[in-house]
Structure 1
């Protein structure tokens, strides 16, 4: 289900079996639906996962977020570009330089404190930077890139 390993460098995305949680389009080298890469929950869960415990402007105190690394999603989609246009369910969008996900352990959080993020909790996917680990990220520009209710990513 989800991802088939062809070699250490190449993977093929199979079509999602469950409801699509994320669509990656644009400069995608491993599409699985037309020219896009579609991911269901199971497909996202088999990617390299990461956990970040940090303070954010949106939660009280320290919160433990977990989900796939942004760079793992790009790799699975065979995506190559300079920027990712991350678009939420309500069409809010922010441009995130690909260098952010290469330099930092940016995740698309699927859980907060061990609970699945629902739409009412900023889910199903929430871009989370490791704010406490890298204080230089604590600024309005980075906060604006922390898109919640992520529906799609356009790689440019």
Structure 2
């Protein structure tokens, strides 16, 4: 869980209204178990000299055609983390390559990922892997008017 806690702390620091650091190991494991069992997900791990230095968690997004969208079946790269002491050593690239091998073996034609705007390292990694921007999401903090009354 140390790697997961690193990435969770990063997100909690940059997006505190959305992420916290209060998760338990049991809750984290339940999240992964749900993704693996209920969403045909998988976890890939990277090790160097017997030490875990990175992981990638992916889940399947599948939906039938509806009134607006075509049927889809694509893998979602949900989380990727490399230990801060193993950055710039090709770990993330190797994880993405293994992920793409798995996606291809599953017969899927596409994968997607999202990242928070603050996370320029993820943005650069995904672009380097050949992913291209698709959807732009925006949000706005509303003023707390009750504090003014």
Sort the TM-score into its range (normalised by shorter chain): under 0.3
Larger helix percent:
2
Q: TM-score, normalised by structure 2?
A: 0.28
Higher relative contact order (CA 8 A, sep 6+): 1
TM-score of the superposition, structure 1-length normalised? 0.27
Q: 1 or 2, which has the higher strand percentage?
A: 1
